[in-house]
Structure 1
Amino acid sequence: MAVSDIDIFDRLRLIRSPNVGPISYRQLIARFGTASAALEALPDLAARVGGRKLTAAGPEAIHREIEYLARVGGHYLFINDADYPALLGELENAPPVLTYKGNIALATQINVAMVGARNASAAGCRMARNIAQELGQRDIVVTSGLARGIDAAAHQGALATGTIAVIAGGIDAVYPPEHTELQERVAAEGLLLAEMPPGTEPRARHFPYRNRIIAGLSAGTVVVEAIPKSGSLITARLAGEAGREVMAIPGSPLDPRSRGCNQLIREGATLVQDAGEIAELIAPLDQRVRSKPSAQPHFDFIAEAGDGERNAIFELLSPNFAAVDELVRLSGMPSAQVQMVLLELELAGRLERGAGARVRLTA
């Protein structure tokens, strides 16, 4: 790890503290310089907007987490570490810390996400497996979510050459249960990644967060089979928002599992049919993948906000999502002040962040 043991401990305390998410974590580090200083500032920041007293994660809990992760054979990967994936680090809401098992070097290689239906057809699974195998032969790592169907087929096809599985729970959680052996093989022969703390059982709310990591890690996302409004299409949308290639394999309009892919193509995704076409599309991103994660979003908070600024921002917010840029425009305030007010509201538990730099008041 690139940071000191004390700093590791403080960073873990900060990200595990209530109401501290990926964006607020990075804002706090940018604002206060160190995790230790940010931890001291948490109660005051939350209190500025009428929040209840915010207590940081306790040292005892962090000690237990570190010891438990070591017992299950896991390791930490922090956003400033040299092995942190460059493309993932470009996301505004990139995970400040991941846990992993396996070959972390795979995270710094160019990779493609392959996702699709859980109830995939035999033909779809065969296609995913074959394309994943061919991508591996071209030194491209295949990333997926270890779900049933297309995900599992993609991992199986790429096991021999390199595959990354991003799971929704903690690094020690297995889901679905029938993938115990496959998950163990990925951890031994590839790379297993998790954002949730070890010991966390996967819940429905965790899967969108997992999907953003799959999309963010990858130079491009390929959807093999998917129904409309599926998690696979969410992953594809996140990939597009991150400026990555979105690709889809077309299918028969008579099969509901092809409608999501056909819809993506109609909306602008690139139609692909084999590994060669995929490799050609992602080639321009190769240099960015191999660079150090120096292109991380910059958070600059040099301007404190007063009660007048807080009230102005609060009046612009509602239970409906609004773009942060729109709040800056309508308020006429410097972005630094707007972001500070939003940070205070989030720490107080009064603000929710959505995709695409949007925010709203919590219920």
Structure 2
Amino acid sequence: MTRPANSQKGIRLSDRQRLNWLRLIRSENVGPVTFRDLISHFGSAGDALQMLPELMRRGGGNRPIRVATVEDAEREMELIDKIGARFVGMGEPDYPPYLRHYEASPPLLAIKGDASLFEAPPVAIVGARNSSIAGNRFTHRLVKELGDAGYAIVSGLARGIDAAAHEASLETGTIAVLAGGLDKPYPPENMHLYNAIPEKNGVLVSEMPMGWEPRARDFPRRNRIIAGISLGLVVIEAANRSGSLISARLAGEMGRLLFAVPGSPLDPRSFGTNKLLKNGAILVTEASDIIEALTPLIGPLNGQKTGPMGGATGELPFNAPTQDSTLDEAAVSPMMLLNDPERESIIDALSPVPTDPDALIRHTGLHPSQVFLVLLELDLAGRIARHSGGAVSLLQA
């Protein structure tokens, strides 16, 4: 398949910014949402890094926060370069365009392969690890037809349906999202795919540090990237308790189209997919079912792409500056004026029940930047949990 040169607009990070972004996202208690909030409040990763110890202290942290050092970041960049990969920041032209619209998208992705593949409309294929012969055969047929129609295939390099999807899309374009570091593929039996994907017509993607061995809790994190990269997600064989159903839930929360392949009611591997169909997923028996549903979202395949809700994909998801700037005193003055009673009023309003920040703003009557600053402080101190939709809850001591 021939693809146009990457036409996505965006701002290229300088080497200094990229290093600071990597340091910030690798620092203790800084996740994707916290990263975005820190950049929005302080204007640059460099300024945010300087503020981390003070923010954690204000949030009630009882020990120094671990801030990733320049040496740590430089070492990881050297390891990435050694395997022929690179870091791409959110807002840069080579960042997957649909993923950047998700609130918890990774600020930095390690990628290996041809980034122009992100220009093709992406469809995620997920399913059972212990897939049936029939399930694998259908996956091959479906993926071949989607690839021939110009679609890129996204999956998680797992056993079963994932492996079948990657195998069938090696020639037309496949994106594999890893749960561990880019140098730690899993499972071992899929090493042939791991090696072939960047050499043929695909991209390997990971948000995790180099050398990171995937753990059970890392796979749902990976699943959110699979769903976020894609316009739609197709589930082929999934039991009632299945990681594929987590991907399906995440896809629904992101506003992606959800597809499911029906199966025998006697096969436990079809219980999950059949339930998805009962709950409104689009039934798939052939590739045209997917293509017809996605065509209104993307328009002609050789035209300019649009976002999952029809908007342009070139804009930055937050106020990332074009260069490391000094701290804007006017922007942070409401935060600096926050006193202890005001801070306590925000903490007192929180509970183990997820609460929307807008409700906190209304309840306390404080400036939004003051509320979000306290949430940042509590997050860095490990005292709150973040939930989908931006809600937060207080963790029990």
Q: What TM-score, normalized to structure 1?
A: 0.95
CA 1:237/1:298 → structure 2, altered by over 3 Å: closer, same or farther? Answer: farther
* Alignment-derived partner of residue 19 in structure 1: 29
Deviation per residue, 1:75-115 (Å, 9 max, x gap) = 11111211112210001111000001111111232110010
Which moves more between the two structures, 54-63 or 131-140?
54-63
Do 2:40 and 2:318's aligned partners in 1 also have CA atoms closer than 8 Å?
Answer: no
Q: Residues 24-35 of structure 1: matches in 2 within 5 Å?
A: 24-35=34-45
Do 1:85 and 1:293's aligned partners in 2 also have CA atoms closer than 8 Å?
Answer: no
1:218 to 217, 230, 236: 230
Note the aligned Cα RMSD (angstroms): 1.9
SS in 2 for 1:257: helix
2:388 to 332, 350, 355: 355
2:91 corresponds to 1:80:
yes
SS in 1 for 2:280: coil
CA 1:159/1:291 → structure 2, altered by over 3 Å: closer, same or farther? Answer: farther
Deviation per residue, 1:8-33 (Å, 9 max, x gap) = 11111111111111011111111111
1:200 to 190, 202, 212: 212
Which residue identity lines up with residue 351 of structure 1 in the other structure? I
Distance 1:316 1:183 in 2: 48
Task: Give the Å deviation of 1:285.
Answer: 2.5
Distance 1:354 1:229 in 2: 21
1:343 to 376, 379, 384: 376
Deviation per residue, 1:221-274 (Å, 9 max, x gap) = 000110113111111111111111011111111111111011111111111211
* Alignment-derived partner of residue 260 in structure 1: 272
2:126 to 98, 115, 118: 115
Do 1:173 and 1:200's aligned partners in 2 also have CA atoms closer than 8 Å?
Answer: yes
Do 2:183 and 2:210's aligned partners in 1 also have CA atoms closer than 8 Å?
Answer: yes
SS in 2 for 1:356: helix
Do 2:232 and 2:251's aligned partners in 1 also have CA atoms closer than 8 Å?
Answer: yes
Task: Give the Å deviation of 1:316.
Answer: 2.6
CA 1:257/1:327 → structure 2, altered by over 3 Å: closer, same or farther? Answer: farther
Q: Any gaps of 5 or more consecutive residues in structure 1?
A: none
2:259 corresponds to 1:247:
yes
2:47 to 31, 37, 40: 37
SS in 2 for 1:148: coil
SS in 2 for 1:168: coil
Deviation per residue, 1:19-60 (Å, 9 max, x gap) = 111011111111111111111111111111221322421111
Distance 1:331 1:237 in 2: 33
Which residue identity lines up with residue 236 of structure 2 in the other structure? V
Distance 1:309 1:244 in 2: 39
Distance 2:142 2:43 in 1: 45
CA 1:50/1:293 → structure 2, altered by over 3 Å: closer, same or farther? Answer: same
2:281 corresponds to 1:269:
yes
1:8 to 12, 15, 18: 18
Do 1:92 and 1:297's aligned partners in 2 also have CA atoms closer than 8 Å?
Answer: no
CA 1:144/1:302 → structure 2, altered by over 3 Å: closer, same or farther? Answer: farther
Q: Residues 310-325 of structure 1: matches in 2 within 5 Å?
A: 310-325=343-358
Distance 2:218 2:342 in 1: 34
Distance 2:34 2:114 in 1: 29
2:177 corresponds to 1:166:
yes
CA 1:250/1:164 → structure 2, altered by over 3 Å: closer, same or farther? Answer: same
Distance 2:364 2:127 in 1: 42
CA 1:116/1:328 → structure 2, altered by over 3 Å: closer, same or farther? Answer: farther
Which residue identity lines up with residue 146 of structure 1 in the other structure? L
Task: Give the Å deviation of 1:302.
Answer: 7.2
* Alignment-derived partner of residue 54 in structure 1: 65
Identity %: 48
Q: What TM-score, normalized to structure 2?
A: 0.87
Task: Give the Å deviation of 1:297.
Answer: 5.5
* Alignment-derived partner of residue 296 in structure 1: 317
* Alignment-derived partner of residue 69 in structure 1: 80
Task: Give the Å deviation of 1:298.
Answer: 6.7
Distance 2:160 2:360 in 1: 42
Distance 1:62 1:295 in 2: 24
2:159 corresponds to 1:148:
yes
Task: Give the Å deviation of 1:339.
Answer: 1.8
Which moves more between the two structures, 266-275 or 300-309?
300-309
Distance 2:344 2:31 in 1: 23
Which residue identity lines up with residue 59 of structure 2 in the other structure? V
Deviation per residue, 1:168-204 (Å, 9 max, x gap) = 0000112001001111111222110001011111111
Do 1:82 and 1:292's aligned partners in 2 also have CA atoms closer than 8 Å?
Answer: no
Which moves more between the two structures, 335-344 or 185-194?
335-344
* Alignment-derived partner of residue 148 in structure 2: 137
Do 2:354 and 2:392's aligned partners in 1 also have CA atoms closer than 8 Å?
Answer: yes
